[in-house]
Amino acid sequence: MLQSMTGYGREQLLINGRDITVEIRSVNHRYYEFSSRVPRVYGYLDEKLKSFVKNSVSRGKIEVSVTINNIEGRTAAVSIDRDLALEYLKALREANEALGLEDDVTLSMMTRFSDIFSVQKLAEDEELIWNDVKTAAEKALEKFVEMRRTEGSTLKKDLLEKLKNIENTLGTVEEQAPVTAEKYREKLFKKLKEVLEEKEIDEQRIVTEAALFAEKIAIDEETVRLRSHIAQFRELVESEGPVGRKLDFLVQEFNREINTMGSKAQDVKITKCVVDMKSEVEKIREQIQNIE
């Protein structure tokens, strides 16, 4: 199924005493580019998330954001350096005595000396935390992929419509090409008749000249190849898996064949058709930049 490279998914879960939120968003990118924002103490989650998302996404600039709030139990232990605290207290009282001030040292005053406290992160089960985050990430990823598929479905419908427009215009080119050669033969005959007046005209010479001209402007090969590319394009948009790069290649081939038709065209009607087809191809090229 065709997928857009633009998507967003979010999930929030309360699990094992933690409030976990995972957000996944993406925009267009030629390759797979991953970045994450996780709490510093959970930095080990980055690589796990990168591998996890890559299983479902092949292209796009992906950003994953994770927040983890512990709502039950302690996550850190706070201790006090008693000896250092006593030294601070002793120094303060000596200053009071030396300056003749009142001894008003309080606990709140002592908290200003942050170096007497130490905070130690309690050991957590990293595998348990990853499993909890993964549970939320799976649900966020489901929503993310669903959004990409929905946008992909819209893109597919529009691409097929533009493809049909190109086919219809190509049909007009195929009908007009033989007419162009015949018009040239008639024009050549008329011109020679005017020049030679009453003299006999070599019909075989005219046939030969017309044949050479027809060969010069022949676009049969280009129209056949373009129809083949269109068929391949249609198969790809109906197939499973990432197809963006393949579609991009085919669009280049579209342009190659149409440009060749334009360079060979000796007919105003065909030239106009070439311009119309190139316009549709450019619209397709812009759209497939957003396809995975």
| pLDDT score at 127 | 92
* Residue 261 in this model has a pLDDT that exceeds 60: yes
Cα–Cα separations (whole angstroms), residue 142 to 148, 161, 170: 10, 29, 41
How many independent structural domains does the chain possess? Answer: 3
> If we measure between CA atoms, which residue out of 274, 16, 42, 29 comes closest to residue 169?
274
Cα–Cα separations (whole angstroms), residue 133 to 1, 3, 89, 125, 261: 28, 25, 46, 12, 57
| pLDDT score at 26 | 96
Cβ atoms of 117 and 76 within 8 Å: the answer is: no
Question: What pTM was estimated for this model as a whole?
Answer: 0.69
Q: Is residue 1 part of a domain?
A: no
Kindly state the tokens that stand for 290: 């957003």
Q: What is the mean pLDDT of residues 19-35?
A: 94
> If we measure between CA atoms, which residue out of 207, 177, 181 comes closest to residue 192?
207
Kindly state the tokens that stand for 63: 């950003």
118 strand-pairing partners: 79
Which of the two residues, 170 and 206, has the higher pLDDT score?
170
- DSSP for 8-41 reads EEEEEEEETTEEEEEEEEEE--SSEEEEEE--GG
Residues 24 and 66 in one domain: yes
* Residue 16 in this model has a pLDDT that exceeds 70: yes
| pLDDT score at 93 | 83
How many angstroms separate the CA atoms of 43 and 51, rounded? Answer: 14
| pLDDT score at 177 | 80
Residue 291 per-residue DSSP state? B
Q: Is residue 2 part of a domain?
A: no
Beta strands at 60-70 and 32-37: parallel, antiparallel or unpaired: parallel
Residues 180 and 216 in one domain: yes
CB atoms within 10 A of CB 44: 11
Give the model's confidence band at 32: pLDDT under 50 very low, under 70 low, under 90 confident, else very high: very high
pLDDT tens-place string over residues 159-184: 999 999 999 999 999 888 877 766 66
pLDDT tens-place string over residues 82-95: 888 888 888 888 88
Specify whether the backbone of 76 is left (phi greater than 0), alpha (psi in -120 to 50) or beta. beta
* Residue 210 in this model has a pLDDT that exceeds 70: no
How many angstroms separate the CA atoms of 101 and 104, rounded? Answer: 9
Residues 186 and 60 in one domain: no
- Domain residues for the domain of 107 are 76-121
pLDDT tens-place string over residues 102-118: 777 787 778 888 888 88
* Residue 14 in this model has a pLDDT that exceeds 90: yes
> If we measure between CA atoms, which residue out of 159, 163, 154, 158 comes closest to residue 6?
154
Residues 132 and 205 in one domain: no
Residues 85 and 170 in one domain: no
Residues 110 and 26 in one domain: no
Q: What is the mean pLDDT of residues 230-235?
A: 96
Residues 12 and 141 in one domain: yes
- How confident is the prediction for the chain on average, in pLDDT? 86
